[in-house]
A and B are shown apart, each in its own frame.
Chain A
Amino acid sequence: MLHRLSLRVLTLVILWMGLGVLKLDDMSESGFFLQGAVFSFLILAGALFEIFFCYQGDPYLLPVVQTILAIGLVFLARINPAQAADQFIWANLGLIIYYAVFFILRDYRKLGEYQYLWGMLALLMLLLTLIFGTTINGATSWFRFAGVGFQPEELVKVALLLFLASYLSDNKELLRFGTIQVGRLSLPDAKTMGPFVFIGVFVLGLLGAQKSLGTALVFFLLMVFILYVATERLLYLVVSVPLVMATGAAGYFLFDHVRVRVATWINPWLDASGGAYQISQSIFAISGGRLLGTGLGNGIGAYQIPNADTDFIFSVIAEEIGFIGAMAIISLFIIVVMRCFCVSTRAVDRFGQILAAGIGILIGVEALIILAGVTKMLPLTGLPLPWMSYGGSSMVGHFLLLGILAGISHSSAFSVSQIPIGKQADAL
């Protein structure tokens, strides 16, 4: 119990120290103290809720995510106080959603029963966005509803994951061993592979049509990796490499802004004030941070980098708390991803196993792609950094997934201990 609380207290110390430093530098308004208090209350109340309901799941996942969230909130308060106020609301809502999902969804296995519903829902959401959505920064991925912008693709992630997990848990063997012999390879038949390919091609096609290429890349890698995890067939990984290259090349020739991104990725200094402004400012900010950083609130990147509150929040963090701070953030993400995989290996059923692994893969791939983008290791693709970047849709989507994960984790610990000795192997 003490252990559970101490991690939360540590998170809150980070939050309040950060807000305090900003206050001392006159860089934030006092409004955050109320917001922060509500947030702190929810964190502590959540911990008590877990104790009260005897939560047996992974003890590190939520505290680490909350730490990432707290650091993100501090930096948003520093970069753009107005948006930080919104983000506090989203964060509080996210925590409530997390506990609600965990509490209401007593048996996550029910989610696996609606696999085609999830697949269709994912397609429908993307289709509606394409038709009725608004275009921001070149990508048609926004819905404006009652004055609040919303990115359906964040919820598509949830639906797609649920579809993939239930589909793969049903068809694992068929996909693994195959039924058709082609030379020395045995491949699954069209009927087995059909739904996966159908959903995959349509989801990626729709995202391509929306020009949300970063999200498309995330979904593609998610599908390939989750297929590999479920089947352990290297073939699926190998086949994906030429596919990525072909789609990348197609994107390069089809879309102007992809060509610009690639050109500025190869040499940002040629056009550092034009097309390469974002990436070069991001690099300048990161390298300006050096080992220890400029100090919270002292950086230049927060004013210089466009979208410092969303895609480039990591560059601002790397500038102001330096290499040491940036490594801390990366470590937190590694912990989250690894804990997801831990939950996966301990899950009692195949659906839960694949779903937990999928959530880990999704978070890891998202973080890697955007972090590699802002550090110029990959061409830049606009993606939010989970729990850090400003954005309600991403917050809600990720807390939904985390809530489901808590359910998987909880029931694995709970179920195995409840099953009489000798029958546990059957359940597994």
Chain B
Amino acid sequence: MKHFLLLGFLLLLVVGCTPTESTEPEILFRVPANFPKPLYDLEKNPITKDGFELGKALFNDPILSRDLTISCAECHSQPSGFTHHGHDLSHGIDNRKGTRNSLPVQNLAWESEFFWDGGVGDLDFVPIAPIENPVEMDEKTGNVLEKLRKSPRYPAMFKRAYGSEEITSARFLKSLSQFMLTLVSADSRYDKFVRNEGGTLTPDEAAGLTVFKQKCASCHAGELFTDRSYRNNGLTIQGDDAGRYRITENEADRNKFRVPSLRNVAVTGPYMHDGRFYTLEAVLDHYAEGVQGTPNLDSLLIKNGQRGIALSTEEKRQVIAFLKTLTDDTFLKDKRFSTP
């Protein structure tokens, strides 16, 4: 009798599972064990498979640009950690040049301010900026919605994601957020090492991690490798980009830019807000020898009256070896995120 009951229970379980098994319920977003709590409020925009698919289609569709030539993926391509590989400044419509280097689209659920100056404080509002920027997509977001309404494919996709064909700014922007939120990079060799999942570091990489913790981690802090602050890291002033000052108009913020994450840093070059450094070696040379005493230079970059971070050639090599362990090939090659 007992066995029958158990069998019945098992049968019930199997029956209960069958209908969903064919569609394989996929978990599109999860918090990695070594990550903190996300800052994005996922309850206000629950990620669904259909919302994700819609967002992915939009992310890859040049319909978002004025002349149907530039998609989000143009400047945020997956193999480069969703950046514009090889471009110091991003190229937009009519090959117009922007003023800043495109930032990686990864781990955005842990960000609360966006762009190099933090001018946008909610992921849902981020896409409006590149769409309406005359040197990027040069389109009006309202016009994008009109194009989507008239397209043969999108009304049905909105219906699948939201229950009706209605295309609103909230639905449009939230589906893009859903796709971007799923772009979680947390499976680098470093992650497998810190989570004791079998990842190992070579002696050079381990030594690099030690140097990194001593000399870099006060700004590139925690498992996201950024403390999300705005700092002047002593670059020579080139051009008139005042960084964070542009948003707050507070003199104390002049020349300050957001501390970027270092995840996938080996594939997201060139570096700095204007992409002036083409290699990680050039970046570390800057911190070791190139730091300038410009207004609002970060106090962490002055020690005992000396500017910069003391780094020997050996230490630089080790730090770079360590930084390369932050490359997450699983993420960079994940078919779910690939351009269709």
Whether both chains belong to one complex is answered with no
